[in-house]
Structure 1
Amino acid sequence: MTTPPQDLKPRPRGRFGIRRAGTTIITIVLVGAVIAGFVAMATATGWEDSFAQLGKLEFWQIAALLGLTVANYIFRGLRWYVFSRALGLPRGRRRDARHFAGGLAMTVTPGRLGEVIRLRWLARETGWSMDRTAPLILVDRAADLAAMALILAGMLALSAAGMAGAVPAAVIAAIVAVVLTRPSVIGGLVTWSYRILAVRPRLFARARSAARSLQRFSSPRVFIPGVLYGTIGWAIEGVELYLILTWIGADIGLPSAIGIFVFATFAGGLTGAPGGLGGAEASMIALMRLQGVAMGPAIAATAVIRLTTMWFAVLMGLVVLPYAERVSRRIKREREAQALPTR
């Protein structure tokens, strides 16, 4: 067999056909665009004001923000553990913690699809196919949406003004969360899609099987604790924004700060951009301006909250990811060795 010319060889693709190089380029471009946006706004409003706001924060305050971010991901990691148990995976708290933390490195992939690396690790360590564990990603996103809907509804009730625009977001998040956790709805959508497209029947069969697996998460004993953990986690990050604004002298009240953070995160997620880059920052600054926060403090607060939440999470994930990858490979080799017939 002749080797095809180098220029005709297929380029490596990531999971779900996403080109790894393309994903990296998209992320780099978006990060560059966000940085350029911050620079442009800071230049327009005067560098001195933005830097003056940042200079008000002390080391212990930054440490406190990072500690709260860790607390947020502990709660959301507990949710991952609850859903893993509900799916029927073998018990493994350390395994679940390792997978959840390592997956945070993939937060800045388009649509957060990179987080399916957790399913690959599970496949290596437990022998479960990715088709069987795929509902974990779906129900995790659904629990996030349900938590955001609860928070937005609560903050709307407590905020004095300025959060009326969050009403549609709360309604949409609640509806999508309900849809994503109803096996009959998902199964019906899969069947309808197959009847229209009539291609790759195996793929649609797998999708229907994954939809049926969602039934395991429909129990209130499973989904309610999962939503509760997510609600606490997202609210903690909203408290971080409140603390930042208070420390730089731009207090807008706790309900408004939490509502702004959650709404901006949701809006950024709707764009499908890695980590909601661009959309989340623009929404956050705009909502703070509506609350009477000057442009300088708004830019500073947005930069700090994104660095101490999303980018700090990515850093934690990058620290854990090589270890999680190494452990998963070792366990896979051990499983394969045990499966070999003895002479």
Structure 2
Amino acid sequence: MQRISPRWRQGAITVTVLALVGYLALSVMADGDRLMEAVAVIGWGRLSLVLLLSLANYALRFWRWQLYLGWLGHAVPAWRSLLVYLSGFALTVSPGKAGEAVRCLYLRRDGVPYSTGLAMMFVERLLDLLAILVLASFILLSRQDLSWTVGIFAICLAVGLAVLHHRHTPDLLTAMGRRLGGRAAGAADWLSTTLMHARALLGWSRLMPILLIAILSWGAEGVGVWVLASAFPASPDLVFSIGVYGLAILAGAAAVFLPAGLGGTEAVMTGLLLTAGLTLPEAVAITLICRLATLWFAVGVGAAALLWLEYRGGDGEGVHETHVSELHPGEASQ
């Protein structure tokens, strides 16, 4: 049975982190002059406040993560759980944020099955998307012509929730997998189990509290846009600013194969700020600082947590080796 050795894993993660740092450095160098001009205009005080709002976002989402673990009957030490959660941010810039599944590898060492970890991530993604949809709808108070974009996402989420809550969905997946046979059968069983865990987290008594946490957490970063925009005379109001952030993040989410929505999020945010009366240099400055203080700040925090887990977190040799067959259901029988 093939194994992923701890030394190989540490080397791969170190190279990944160095690549991310290099990518960030090149990005900063490319926009260095504009970035420093933006900071000079906006001010270090506002930038510091936006960074604190980002930390509030992470803290609220981690609280939700702890609730998930407790509801599913798993007790992970708080400090280690925090590092595991933050480690996923290091790979946020992967297409569709798929790299954040690295959390499942670390949770497995605390007795949390991969299916449970992935179910938690699935629910987190779904509730985050729903929360962002709510925040994006704020912009409709000022821009009725954009209502169709929010409507599309609302319909998709409603259909998704209906399918998820349907009691026969796991059985249908299992039946389809058995009909296809081979790896498909193992994958379908695994996905069925994942959906069962996800449904346990999405019971109506739990849905509203964790949705409220998601709205507050992402709303904090939306407030950050308003804080940055307040540096300019044509500053939009708080509600519009939160809506701008929500709609920009939705645009990035729609471009699922773009790392963290890079390009799409920035273009939409800049365009919406222009409609509020800001000049192009002002809108670009706000967008650059916002993405630095939200996306890239998260990547930096996540990279530090990831390296800590690998080199100081007790996941070295002799603790637990990851089996490739555990990551891909059905391969063990091949």
Same fold (TM over 0.5): yes
Distance of aligned partners of 1:110 and 1:321 in 2 relative to their CA distance in 1, 3 Å threshold: same
Q: Retained in 2: the 8 A contact 1:27–1:274?
A: no
Q: Deviations over 1:76-134 (max 9, x none)?
A: 111111111122212532232121112111111111111111111011122x3312332
Q: Deviations over 1:227-262 (max 9, x none)?
A: 111100111111101111111333111111111111
Partner of 2:213: 229
Partner of 1:111: 96
2:177 aligns with one of 194, 200, 218:
194
Partner of 1:288: 273
Distance 2:315 2:58 in 1: 25
Seq. identity, %? 25
Partner of 2:187: 203
Q: Retained in 1: the 8 A contact 2:133–2:247?
A: no
Range with greater deviation from structure 2 (117-126 or 243-252):
243-252
Distance 1:30 1:52 in 2: 21
Instruction: Describe how 1:52-67 pairs up with structure 2 within 5 A.
Output: 53-67=38-52
Q: Retained in 2: the 8 A contact 1:125–1:331?
A: no
Q: Is the aligned partner of 1:253 residue 2:213? A: no
2:201 aligns with one of 205, 217, 221:
217
Partner of 1:167: 150
Q: Retained in 1: the 8 A contact 2:87–2:303?
A: yes
**Number of residue pairs matched by the alignment:** 309
Structure 1 position 205, deviation (Å): 1.1
Q: Deviations over 1:8-54 (max 9, x none)?
A: xxxxx99xxxx99xx99x98999799889x86xx9xxxx88x87554
Gaps of 5+ in 1: 1-12, 336-343
Q: Retained in 2: the 8 A contact 1:101–1:320?
A: yes
Q: Retained in 2: the 8 A contact 1:149–1:169?
A: no
Distance 1:103 1:29 in 2: 18
Distance 1:287 1:192 in 2: 47
Q: Is the aligned partner of 1:299 residue 2:284? A: yes
Compare relative contact order (CA 8 Å, sep 6+) and give the higher one, 1 or 2: 2
| Matched position secondary structure for 1:110 | coil
Distance 1:80 1:279 in 2: 28
1:333 aligns with one of 294, 319, 326:
319
Q: Retained in 2: the 8 A contact 1:163–1:256?
A: no
Structure 1 position 74, deviation (Å): 0.6
Structure 1 position 135, deviation (Å): 0.5
Q: Retained in 1: the 8 A contact 2:92–2:100?
A: yes
Q: Is the aligned partner of 1:148 residue 2:167? A: no
Q: Is the aligned partner of 1:138 residue 2:122? A: yes
Q: Retained in 2: the 8 A contact 1:145–1:177?
A: no
Instruction: Describe how 1:88-127 pairs up with structure 2 within 5 A.
Output: 88-126=73-111
Distance of aligned partners of 1:102 and 1:95 in 2 relative to their CA distance in 1, 3 Å threshold: same
Aligned residue identity for 1:329: D
Q: Is the aligned partner of 1:76 residue 2:58? A: no
| Matched position secondary structure for 1:329 | coil
Distance 2:265 2:229 in 1: 17
Q: Retained in 2: the 8 A contact 1:239–1:254?
A: yes
Distance 2:152 2:317 in 1: 43
Q: Retained in 1: the 8 A contact 2:133–2:250?
A: no
Distance 1:333 1:28 in 2: 29
Distance 1:197 1:289 in 2: 52
Q: Retained in 2: the 8 A contact 1:145–1:176?
A: no
1:277 aligns with one of 262, 267, 285:
262
Distance of aligned partners of 1:188 and 1:292 in 2 relative to their CA distance in 1, 3 Å threshold: farther
Q: Deviations over 1:312-343 (max 9, x none)?
A: 011111111111234251697289xxxxxxxx
Distance 2:66 2:318 in 1: 21
Distance of aligned partners of 1:332 and 1:151 in 2 relative to their CA distance in 1, 3 Å threshold: farther
Distance 2:240 2:302 in 1: 30
Distance 1:189 1:149 in 2: 29
Aligned residue identity for 1:300: A
Superposition TM-score, scaled by structure 1 size: 0.77
